[in-house]
Amino acid sequence: VKYHQLYNNYIRKRIGELKTLFRLRILLVLVDVDDNAVSLAELNNLAVTSNMTLILAWSEQEAARYLETYKALDGKDASNIQKRESNNFQDRNADFMTACKPVNKTDASNLLNHFSTIKAVAAASQDELALCEGLGQVKVKRLYEALHKPFSKIRARERREAEAEKQKRRRPESDVDGYENTGENEASLEGEA
């Protein structure tokens, strides 16, 4: 950043020389000044408009590590950093279960040992899930919600409306005084009028 503040056209000139020769274009910047906000905003804008990836290093050692890593991985495919596909049934089920944030692989294993199948886990109530070893209230609640939350916004709205209707049918209607409204009061009031 210090060099850029002294000679701010240097990086533009070097980027102009690159043209479109490389697919991976990185702008590695050593942040070596305290007042860097304006310069970093300018470099960020330059990187975005030049289709480059901006990497900030806060020490010379960090910048050197970035360079060493890029040089070591030069010409290699991305398979060593990509997630490997699970081949066996247990691992695939564990991957599915751990997609719910608080559930870890141990919890997934315990759930599958306790319920045998994911279908049985999905059909279980919150109380049944709580009986599984290692699952607290928070994990049970989030897992249950994840397994029972509809994928569609329309279905979610329909479910909420159905729940509200159920609640309405369960509760007797009350008048203003809090007494149960049976309909008899309305008839007597109409007769008096």
Is the full-model pTM beyond 0.95? no
How does pLDDT run along the chain (193 residues), one tens digit per residue? 778 777 888 888 888 888 777 878 888 998 988 888 888 898 888 888 888 889 899 999 999 999 898 888 887 777 766 666 667 777 787 788 888 778 888 888 888 888 888 888 889 998 998 888 888 888 888 888 888 877 777 777 887 888 888 888 876 555 444 454 444 444 444 444 4
Q: Residue 86's pLDDT is what? A: 63
Q: How many CB atoms lie within 10 A of CB 81?
A: 8
The DSSP annotation for 69-129 comes to HHHHTTT--GGGTSPPPP-SHHHHHHHHHTTSTT--HHHHHHHHHHHSSHHHHHH--HHHH
Distance in angstroms between the alpha carbons of the first and the last residue of the chain: 87
Q: Residue 176's pLDDT is what? A: 47
How far is Cα 26 from Cα 57, in angstroms, rounded to an integer? 13
Q: Residue 64's pLDDT is what? A: 92
Q: Residue 23's pLDDT is what? A: 79
Classify the C-alpha dihedral 180-182-185-190 as positive or negative. Answer: positive
